[in-house]
Structure 1
Amino acid sequence: MTRRHGYALLSAITALIVGLSAAIYASAASDHGPGLEARAAGPAEVPGPGSAAPISTGVWVGTWAAAPVSGEPGTATDGMAGRTVRNVVHTSVGGTSARVTLSNLYGVGPLTVTHATLAVATGDGSAAAVADSLRRLTFGGATTVVVPPGGQTVSDAVTVAVPSDSDVLVSTYSPTSAGPVTYHPHARQTNYVAEGESTEDVTGAAFTGAGEYWRYLTALDVLSNRADGTVVALGDSITDGVTSTAGANRRWPDVLAGRLRASVADGGDTPRYGVVNEGISGNRVLTDDSRHGAAALNRFERDVLGRTNVKAVVIDLGINDILRDPGLADPQAVVDGLRTLVERAHAHGIRVIGTTLTPFRGHRGYSDGRENVRQLINQAIRADAVFDTVVDLDRALRDPYDPRSLRPEYDSGDHLHPSDRGYRKMARTIDLTELDGPAPARL
């Protein structure tokens, strides 16, 4: 072989390796998502598919997210094979480009997605899209992606004007079953299903099936010049907003996002953050549950560190460690678990805001012993021995005449979960300025 032919062959091999590496990076499954890479990258110019020109400038932030909880009951055999899933999600901040994360965490076979689209919704609660906003999604430049069981994939960026405080439609079609569908129940949002491949249907007419689940989709990121980072709300059903008005986006993280947008618009000296909700109903700090997801200790890397450009996390967890323990929970173990979460956040420069646990007298799980455990956990939290800063939700929501109970107007009626008014009070109790700043050094 001549030297010239040798150089040509080496160049061809190098080009092939680079091409394969780019495709693998864009579509390979992982447990973490783009968060750590995005945090390191900072401001970015991201080229659109098939174009060498930058689509925009700004910072990648999370505008919406939902934690994968488990495999959807009844989908073990057929999954969603031969159907189009249209998820409806609500943005906290807007941007000029978008990308999504799809998860096959609970599938037992490969999830093959042959068609996927993103569009801005018409905003009437239906499956209809603003026609000129619909974009076909690609993964490593291809319209088809295969997500291994237990994995996830991040789409390429698409250029699209995504408004803040608006609904976005993400549609996926899979011709075959991957087994149980990775889903998030209690979405408090109507989502849609169509028979056959209907990802580019902007009328929504094909989407005759409806339900309150998010399927496969776990994150929506935007390239934004309106935000500098992301704040994650990590919690249980109270963060999930299970008793908030469906379709109205009145969970406390939604209200927090609205407060941040309003403050920025008014020129307030507050952080410019997107807000993502990583609440799971029934979730605990210490213990995994097949119906209520991995414990916070076991999902923190995925649901907090794995999100994009995270600057702060608000943790409201521990009430289910009390309620779901058949005996009496060890308050010190719960507090130690919370401290571990804080240490992991600090290792990545993330500020941690913690909340006290709210009252639940009158709930079917209440007992004086469990109330004592709650008081001991709150005592440790208030002593400033756990979090960087504390939001005292117990004091904000409790009945002044019966501090073991929720104030009546903040009670949804089950004596555990807040009403819409209670969720609004929670969000308004958070000092927005406390979300900003570096994680304090711990001695």
Structure 2
Amino acid sequence: MTRHRGGYALLSAIVALIVALSAAIYAGAAADAGTAGRDTLAAPYAPLDPAEPASTGDWVGTWAAAPTGGEPGTEALGTAGRTVRNIVHTSVGGAGARVTLSNLYGTHPLTVTHATLAVAAADDSPAAAAGTLRRLTFGGATTVVVPPGEQAVSDAAAVPLPADSDVLVSVYTPTSAGPVTYHPHARQTSYAADGQYTEDVTGTPYTGTSPYWRYVTALDVLGDEADGTVVALGDSITDGISSAEGANRRWPDVLADRLRTADRAGADVPRYGVVNEGISGNQVLADGRGGGPSGLRRLDRDVLGRAGVKVVVIDLGVNDILRNQRLADPDAVVAGLRTLVERAHARGIRVVGTTLTPFGGHRGYSAAREAVRQRINEAIRDGGVFDAVVDFDRTLRDPYDPRSLRPEYDSGDRLHPSDLGYRKLAEAIDLEKLKGSVPATL
């Protein structure tokens, strides 16, 4: 962007003053700024390539990842002096976008002085597509300070984001906030560079790679391509821990593909973005080491707190069985699932539930644990838990040994599906079951 040299010094001084004041304000108010909803697109701050801003439409989720803890090895230095470039994948597109950054597991304030958003030039590439890079602002400032345990949502950036595309979210932090809030099982390679390179479009400085998503927990889009969001709340089977890396073959990804394809073909299906809030090791009832807070504890954060949620698909319960040193109580698990449903209904959100998939042959298998799984599945199939049921068990089980996964649907560990298995799970979801709503409880 061209500037007149005579006014450069004065302009620089004014900008520096605004940034400093904004940082001080955000140190105490980042949480409020992070949760405030906006219905229109703000003008992008010093756009590198301006886009015509959209002012109408609905905010919906196009991508999300649940934070699970602090990244090991980052306790002292965090990512101080480095730029993290996350690669995330859209389920629906829009005319503008906003990003959520989290310092949930940090022990000090997270100071972000530079952040950008861009469409990737190619799949899995740290390079940006021409004309798509935008600086992110927070309350109009390029600097935001996020207190420990909090998050911040950026202003809306006017940039068209296509559906089914990789997006670059780049964050530079000059100082350490302690442990980096992250999602460990991304199944996607992201990048890092030494120094401040958020506005680099070549990708050349990004010589470091990471199997994690750092800081970024949600990407929302504004537009008329979707009418709402469906959230997948689950464990490693939803997280897609055994799916092909960089290929977006988790079952929520395939569900998003199906919804887009059916909509473009003119079918009467819900027009929803799909966000994946799976955490490997997650349980309904108990917090788990490495498995994040329980489904009951994280519902507000990971489901009710997402943009435009209409439906949640819940696939939880296997880890309550496998990770419980004692035999799990099936009635307690079912009661926990019913509580999740009641809380979602209180917000007018429809709830689709899945049966629990087989794990015969897995190291945690026992006849007693299999009996608990069958009891839970029986309660789910009876129709007294969810608004609608998808029978993941029946979809994946071996017809000759129903306690186990069908061989071609097994990743090899007798618990997690193969890519074909994940596709079958998504195909088992009748898109009609995602329709409808429930009245919110006052």
Indicate whether the TM-score tops 0.5.
yes
Aligned equivalents of 2:419 and 2:28: distance in 1? 40
CA contact (8 A) 2:328 2:372 kept: yes
Aligned equivalents of 1:182 and 1:289: distance in 2? 17
Find the counterpart in structure 1 of residue 110 from structure 2.
Answer: 111
SS at match of 2:253: helix
Q: Structure 1: which amino acid aligns with 2:231?
A: V
Normalising by structure 1, we get a TM-score of 0.90
Aligned equivalents of 1:289 and 1:396: distance in 2? 28
Q: How many residues align?
A: 414
CA contact (8 A) 1:27 1:153 kept: no
Give 1:46's match in structure 2, choosing from 37, 41, 50.
41
Aligned equivalents of 1:441 and 1:208: distance in 2? 49
Aligned equivalents of 2:301 and 2:209: distance in 1? 28
Instruction: Report the Cα offset of residue 54 of structure 1.
Output: 5.8
Unaligned 5+ segments in structure 1 are: 1-18
Normalising by structure 2, we get a TM-score of 0.90
For the pair 1:257 / 2:256, whether they are aligned, the reply is yes
Instruction: Report the Cα offset of residue 24 of structure 1.
Output: 6.2
CA contact (8 A) 1:388 1:439 kept: no
CA contact (8 A) 1:70 1:290 kept: no
Find the counterpart in structure 2 of residue 78 from structure 1.
Answer: 77
Find the counterpart in structure 1 of residue 144 from structure 2.
Answer: 145
Q: Structure 1: which amino acid aligns with 2:418?
A: S
Aligned equivalents of 2:163 and 2:373: distance in 1? 37
Deviations 1:397-440 (A, max 9, x none): 10000000001111111010000000000000001111111127
Find the counterpart in structure 2 of residue 29 from structure 1.
Answer: 31
CA contact (8 A) 2:53 2:95 kept: no
The percentage of counterpart residues that share the same residue type is 70
Instruction: Report the Cα offset of residue 50 of structure 1.
Output: 6.5
Aligned equivalents of 1:47 and 1:249: distance in 2? 31
Query: Pairwise CA RMSD of aligned residues?
Result: 2.0
Find the counterpart in structure 1 of residue 86 from structure 2.
Answer: 87
Aligned equivalents of 2:41 and 2:322: distance in 1? 47
Aligned equivalents of 2:400 and 2:27: distance in 1? 58
Instruction: Report the Cα offset of residue 353 of structure 1.
Output: 0.2
1:214-293 equivalence runs, <5 A: 214-293=213-292
Q: Structure 1: which amino acid aligns with 2:397?
A: R
Aligned equivalents of 2:41 and 2:128: distance in 1? 25
Deviations 1:135-191 (A, max 9, x none): 000000000000000000000001001000000000000000000000000100000
Instruction: Report the Cα offset of residue 205 of structure 1.
Output: 0.6
Aligned equivalents of 2:217 and 2:186: distance in 1? 12
Instruction: Report the Cα offset of residue 203 of structure 1.
Output: 0.7
Deviates more, 1:54-63 or 1:364-373: 54-63
Deviations 1:357-391 (A, max 9, x none): 00000111000000000000001000101000000
Aligned equivalents of 1:134 and 1:49: distance in 2? 11
SS at match of 2:159: strand
CA contact (8 A) 1:388 1:440 kept: no
Find the counterpart in structure 1 of residue 306 from structure 2.
Answer: 307
Q: Structure 2: which amino acid aligns with 1:365?
A: G
Find the counterpart in structure 2 of residue 3 from structure 1.
Answer: none
Instruction: Report the Cα offset of residue 291 of structure 1.
Output: 1.6
Find the counterpart in structure 2 of residue 164 from structure 1.
Answer: 163
- Residues 239/129 of structure 1: CA separation in 2 closer, same or farther (3 Å cut): same
Aligned equivalents of 1:306 and 1:347: distance in 2? 13
For the pair 1:135 / 2:134, whether they are aligned, the reply is yes
SS at match of 1:275: strand
Instruction: Report the Cα offset of residue 124 of structure 1.
Output: 3.4
Deviations 1:209-257 (A, max 9, x none): 1021000000000002110000000000000001000000000000000
Q: Structure 2: which amino acid aligns with 1:28?
A: A
Q: Structure 2: which amino acid aligns with 1:438?
A: S
- Residues 293/156 of structure 1: CA separation in 2 closer, same or farther (3 Å cut): same
Instruction: Report the Cα offset of residue 55 of structure 1.
Output: 3.0
Q: Structure 2: which amino acid aligns with 1:114?
A: T
Aligned equivalents of 2:262 and 2:98: distance in 1? 26
Q: Structure 2: which amino acid aligns with 1:48?
A: A
Q: Structure 1: which amino acid aligns with 2:168?
A: L
CA contact (8 A) 2:228 2:273 kept: yes
SS at match of 1:161: coil
SS at match of 2:56: strand
